[in-house]
Structure 1
């Protein structure tokens, strides 16, 4: 059974449908924004009889998709009919025609430099009958006043404010051209008193006027009972001229059209206003400030579908009767407003706990989040656990899962399935109600050689090791300022990751690039301290640290909190330091993951030490979310 038809509309029919309200826009469509030249070019296309492209509409009255409508920009709300069709694709073209060809023909637009303009469009009668080059100039854009001036406004160059002046200039308002009766009357006035214009008038009416008044726009008309997912797919395929709509915008429209909510409250539900409440919470916690609305909806979808799955299992249902836990686009789009209103506030209430958890893991800012997708899982699990998520034993288990996900690099590609598994497996396991180890922990693996290739601060594992150095049980201290590097001091001290053996010293001493830039040669330090190190050997800069009022023993103790043996630094021994720090980081990683690291590093093996083994993997070109980590599956 076909889900669409392919009617054709004359421009006059299309304009009439828009003016009476039969054709409207779904509320989620973005504002009208075509510039002056694009509008003029569209009118030239019509004048020549060339195709302008297909529009796409959706019949209203369906049960699956109920978008809140709004009139096409330029059409008033008073006296409009209920819409029969919603314009899904072709908004900019249709709006341009509605504004330029109806009413007073004044269009609020802009020039190429985005300066605001108010324009009216006219057709040069003689040029419209010319060749292709002349027809290109046949549509004229003029100020809305109808007056063109020169000499800084002193001289009137052109005045078409009256019909008589239009006749004299041979410029017909575009609003007249598409009305057969008005067009005929205008042309009669044009030829009156000028017999030489009779031939032009006859030719114009029989060719140009007849052509544009019968010009047809092809359409694809979607059936009213088409699914939400199909409509979303349509937008992905056809809305290439602008920004692609995501599930948040589609849900904004469907929620706004929810009849039950309107009956209950007397107003439409505004998803954007609800998201604004979530943003208020997020902005109080810098580590979460980059979270996207679509991340939030993925989490809500998992909570809704998991709840339905648990209900079905408790009722003894099996097989296809049991819904799947899901964050897939189709499940997000199918969520009801009632379900959203049940779970979204609970998820929002859990956000401060999530931020505190990340802070305790020494992830202090959004760019330091290893995997934004894993934070979505953390949000879901924290919501399900409630206050128990902050209990010591529960937190310890969640920490193990977190570090396994980060250091095992499990959340960088398709994650919708992993979100569902985490939601099903983690809560009971973290509460010790289940002895089944979550799949993420089972799958996680870290190879010792990976430390040599962790050089990019965009890498999740790089961010993870950086945070792990600060998250040791013994508080990490700055080397010069004798202050703990914690949540309170992190911003104040402008802490960042810096070289232990400085870049300049490494270059001067022919240290290989991969070893110089490896996470093994990096550690968190205050900005002032890093400046103090300069580009010297640790054997030199440690003397400067000793001179800042601390004893050598105190400086050594502070360096040791970074999983570093200070003796190697005082000796300026890079090779000894590098091997020792690598082993210490491996110990940290094993402790955090609760499992052994793959010992595949042999410093005496040329095949293992080959620089090619330490090339950083190419960065993904997928979407970006909370912490900037690529997530290629984000096609919501």
Structure 2
């Protein structure tokens, strides 16, 4: 038999040199490079942890083969190459390595921006591998961090492109990194400081340099080289076989094999549990159970950490002093089995919660926004259930807000394991301490109005499903019976028929979530019947009356204005656009009302009262801003530091705020609570502007007390007595009427006058500012 298959291996350094020379090309019948950015990052992690990354299948090419198969270079390669091998299996891995190590100025597929990949050396050397590998984005010129070596050394950032540069670059980088921290240790010691940490970085730099050289020179990638004498027909058959008959071996299968010698049949446990969790349609549920076990036991849930669940398996733990110790998480098979049953129960409980039409509204598995969120959802819900009774209600509200924030910010679209670990830590802390709100929640609050609901045209995407869930939570009532339909009889149907959209060339827009709503099949068949709303809605109105239909449509986030648009005759594409715009605004308001303001638990009457209280707070902030003329110097001195502290905390958690930082007084007053607004109104510098409208300070204090009692009762879901409710409603009405009155004087003039006081006596007196220039005061006091 001819020698047509030659197994071999190649070092990472040599492989990169050959890729840069353009020796590897991809045949036309291969799929495009389609890895996501986080897939590339995970490959880098595997390489630097010396994991096996699979074998390549290469075919030594001839000029005729290259032409016949329309071969192209690897994604991102530019210039003239020297094609030598056709890649039959391993294109995604080769291209990912080329992109990360060579860093071409080519946007990733389906992206407008380029990505560069790097490692945080200090995290890597501390064995914090889940937090050590990163990527970032850029457009046009590379970001400064990729050029500034001193900045890289200071921040312990090692760009992977240094390896791809070849020559002396890698050695120079390592030497420079070590020398930087040698110099830094000397500087710290000379200034009387403790250089211990800098010396640790020096030692890490040397160890990291040795690891880098070992990876580049000794990390081996195996490959099978097929001889060029093999015909193209056989090559295509080989390619078809390896892409159609491969059997994926996942972590559950490996764990099952490792547990068998210990006398535990993991597959038997899974068969017993599977039917209890069958509501969620996924092939990964058995792995999810292991992930819940891992999260509850050690926070993390990536495959590496799942191995530590094996009975008796030791893991390394770094102490505060930097020393490593060994610990065993699961002592024996009995403990493993007990934790398995806890995890199964946690997921079963999570599925019941997700299906609850009052909280999450997942009527079927196809409307679950993210299946991948299930492990951390189940683990966190168990944490909430274990809270003390007096903490449980507020803990559940925060947990629920985290879930919706994760869904609407597409948080679980990639890098699920590391995101789950971070969220478990952050949310577990937050449900016990209000001051530790996660950054994802703060970002959701700031950015939700930028959601493009109009473009959500495909059922199954996270935001499309989330809006359908929200319609269920709203209690969308059936158009025939007037009652919320049973989940088993519920589907989303078009409001304006898709056939009309097809006639008017609306494309996928006709399928937008803004044009769909939960209806029973019977209602869709008997009421809508592929007719325009201006035909079937008048029939409903004649039968039940306009007022009742408005109430019915409100449960579908269709406002009276949107209803009027749907009734227009003739109904045109412009009317359809107007309807989408109006319903989109109503849905965004519902997100704020039900999710961010946490009014899901409130009866409708209290929900409306809470909205009135919120409007009073907004009007108070606006009135204080006008009275102060935008000058923060006129606010009570104890209020400004509290505002600034909350603002800075928000900025740290939500970097997106830097795009539009709150610089005006009115924006900053958003960070003042109700009692601080009371202090502002009654402050000596501003009271003159409110006295004519509010009467006495004593009277104002009484109204603020009544308003606060009602507000806190509603916001914290406490029992509200009839007296508290009546007094609170009276206070709301009092504020609404008082704030509607015109201010005593022109606000700017009053604010300007209040900033001056007479100095001296008689005719020689003059005005001196009691605070610096308003802009400067803002810069100084609120910095």
Report the TM range for the smaller structure's normalisation: 0.3 to 0.5
TM-score, with structure 2 as normaliser: 0.39
Bigger relative contact order, structure 1 or 2 (CA pairs below 8 A, ≥6 apart): 1
TM-score, with structure 1 as normaliser: 0.48
Which structure carries more helix by proportion?
2
